[in-house]
Amino acid sequence: MLSRQNDQKYKISKKYSVVFFTIAGYAIFRYYEKREYGRWEIGRDSMLGRLTTSELKKLFRFEAEKKEKYKKYQAYGIWEK
């Protein structure tokens, strides 16, 4: 069984957060929205359309930092360019 490494939760706002971890050569980003009955995983594109400008900056900064630090890993759950 593979185990997650470098597990980090980053809170963007009261409602939105990102979880980042690495596993078997992949850098994984998971995006979450807090709802009345718990936390739900949502798509990155869905989250982008709901964030304020300052929240977008926080998200992009977090993603860029992780992509730079773990650039030898294949990114999953984030844009590829």
pLDDT, tens only, 13-25: 999 999 999 988 8
Give residue 69's domain range.
5-76
Question: What is the reported pLDDT for 6?
Answer: 85
Q: How many domains does the chain have?
A: 1
Query: Considering the entire predicted model, what is its pTM?
Result: 0.84
Mean pLDDT value across residues 27-35: 93
Any domain includes 39: yes
- Domain presence at residue 35: yes
Average pLDDT taken over every residue of the chain: 88
In a domain, residue 50? The reply is yes
Q: Is 81 part of any domain?
A: no
pLDDT category of residue 78 using cuts at 50, 70 and 90? low
Chain length of the chain: 81
